[in-house]
């Protein structure tokens, strides 16, 4: 079931990416789930990279990715440092 769910996210239209990212972010914020933070970050990167993404939304998505990565970057591992937003900074 998890693979089917992931395939739905991989092929989701932009609006579903937005709502999925927000759902994972909310879960992380409410219960501190690191997996939810990682998934939110991955989805927010895709939102920011979207060709049709509004520049204002892109900027906020990049800010959220950076904040999530800051919170979870540790010497022992943590989230990968690979946001598409960094390429333009």
Q: Is the pLDDT of residue 10 over 90?
A: no
Across 56-65, average pLDDT: 94
Q: How confident is the model at residue 32 (pLDDT cuts 50, 70, 90)?
A: confident
pLDDT for position 82: 46
Across 47-64, average pLDDT: 92
pLDDT for position 59: 95
Residue 12 domain boundaries? 2-88
- Rounded Cα gap, residues 12 and 30, in angstroms: 25
For the chain, the farthest-separated pair of C-alpha atoms sits apart, in whole angstroms, at 38
Q: Is the pLDDT of residue 44 over 90?
A: yes
Across 57-75, average pLDDT: 85
- Rounded Cα gap, residues 33 and 46, in angstroms: 20
């Amino acid at each position: 079931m998890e693979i089917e769910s992931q395939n739905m996210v991989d092929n989701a239209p932009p609006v579903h990416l937005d709502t999925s990212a927000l759902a994972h972010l909310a879960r992380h914020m409410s219960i501190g789930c690191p997996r939810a933070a990682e998934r939110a970050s991955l989805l927010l990167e895709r939102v920011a990279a979207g060709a049709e993404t509004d520049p204002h939304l892109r900027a906020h998505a990049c800010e959220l990715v950076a904040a999530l990565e800051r919170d979870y970057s540790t010497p022992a591992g943590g989230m990968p440092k690979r946001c598409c937003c960094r390429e333009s900074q």
